[in-house]
Amino acid sequence: MSTAPARVVINLDLPGPTISRHLYGHFAEHLGRCVYGGFWVGEDSPLPHTNGIRTDVVEALKALRIPNLRWPGGCFADDYHWRDGIGPREQRPRTVNSHWGDVVEDNAFGTHEFMTLCELLGADPYVSGNVGSGTVREMSEWIEYLTRGDDSPMATLRRANGRDEPWKVPFWGLGNEAWGCGGNLRGDAFADLARQYATYVRDHGGNRVYRIAAGANADDYHWTESLMKALGQVEKSSNPVFQALSFHYYTMSGDWQDKGDATSFSDDEYYRTIAQAYRVEEMLTRHSTVMDRRDPHKRIGLVLDEWGTWWNVEEGTNPGFLYQQNTMRDALVASLHFDAFHRHADRLVMANIAQTVNVLQAMILTDPATGALVLTPTYHVFEMNTGHHDAASLEAHVIDDRRFEDVPLLSASASTTGESALISLSNLDAGQARPVVLDLRGQDVSGYGARILTSGSLHDHNDPSRPNTVRPRPHEGVSRHEKGLIVDLPAHSYVTVSLEL
């Protein structure tokens, strides 16, 4: 193996497709303590809140410039009937959350609370409609309730519940995981349902809905083909009945029976995790290829609206609540995904990490006993990447011979606004540092700066007693080089380099 520095070649004057800010989207399901105890603490809580919505959670997410929030699920969506969550809270019916812990749901957090949350965050709402156990009429009336401004029946009902003006709802999901918890359907059968339901998710007034059909489980390319076939040949001038389709992919070191431990893992388990994270690139490529055959102009978007790590739950917690810790390993899984997202910005229009608070690969963990709030390593990757939002992608050609078996140990991506550029670098080697030359071409660089996220161990994580064990800091290991810059990448580190052009 060569001891020479790795090299990343970037042509700064050749911008590519725009990296939509919506690739940095989030997901809040009625699952465990994501909504209740995460976002929602109730109006009687001693914690600072706005109408029951926890203030410090909102402020932390605003620092990420959170672009969109998907709700109410997930599997919960196809058991959720929106009328249960409107009107006076004391009159709302109690229901059973059969998917996640078999707990009773009091519907305190419903449509109005979610829309208030999105307004506080400055995020676009992404509502997942109920196809599995709902009806076409139910979904049609929900979009009317949310977005119509005149005296229609649903607009009148909304006003009776305290909201005069309609909301803007740009994104709408047509079901969730219809191949599993959303109905156990076959692809062709669901494709017809997606067409039917999409027809009745109407544009009211000035609201324009981007309809997203529930898509494949990971590498089920036949499901994607079924949905694309249902749309027919998508020509440049056509108006497809839905505008995007989704897929879901989770990363783990084991399998669905034993997913691996969140904080205690071997180097072999770490590299297995990284190898699984790399698979998202293959899936993005192959789903896109299936779509290209019927949509060469890329009118239909691809949405990865559930992604992230999935580990065995923390000991002593409800198995149905999916609460897990979050280490430097999770941060590197996130950085790898973002590099892949940037490379597929021509087709990938949205992605939503699962989930925002207290569930799976969360941004934020809250302590139910003390109320303490902790920012995870994954949170910091999102924050360090805000400069990529709505910037033009740049190809980053990695030249490096380091591998662990077949796993590349350096990942990179880049973007530009014309006046500045941001380069993301991940050293995935568990134990070895690596210098990397940034071979910068096509434009002069007048200034630079860098930040680094790393820690003494891949197992390091933040908790209420040590909230800053893993956090970003300025990186001094960058200097001029005859080809541009040279960057020192410590073992298991994530570095962003900002350029002034």
3-state secondary structure of 470: coil
Query: Catalytic residue among 105, 113, 141, 306, which?
Result: 306
Question: Cα angle vertex 448, ends 443, 450, to 5°?
Answer: 130
- Scored b (16 or more CB within 10 A) or e, 173-209 reads bbbbbbbebbbebebeebbebbbebbebbeebeebeb
3-state secondary structure of 501: coil
Q: How far is CA 110 from CA 107, 316, 423, in A?
A: 6, 29, 40
Is 177 known to be catalytic? yes
Report DSSP state, residue 463: B
- Interatomic CA distance for residues 395 and 200, integer angstroms: 41
Is 306 known to be catalytic? yes
In terms of DSSP bridges, do strands 364-366 and 373-375 run parallel, antiparallel, or are they unpaired? Answer: antiparallel
- Interatomic CA distance for residues 211 and 87, integer angstroms: 27
CB neighbour list of residue 444: distance below 8 Å, 6 or more residues apart:
501
- Interatomic CA distance for residues 256 and 351, integer angstroms: 22
- Interatomic CA distance for residues 432 and 428, integer angstroms: 9
CB neighbour list of residue 249: distance below 8 Å, 6 or more residues apart:
218, 279, 280, 283, 304, 306, 307
Give the alpha-carbon dihedral of 329, 306, 78, 122, to 10 degrees: 100
| Both structure tokens of 237 | 């001038």
Q: Which helix (H) or strand (E) holds 71?
A: strand 68-71
- Interatomic CA distance for residues 353 and 304, integer angstroms: 9
Strand-pair partners of 420: 500
Sign of the Cα torsion 452, 343, 308, 434 reads: negative
Query: Catalytic residue among 113, 141, 177, 383, which?
Result: 177
Nearest to 73 by CA among 182, 180, 168: 182
| Side chain identity at residue 109, one-letter code | F
Which residues carry out catalysis?
Answer: 177, 306
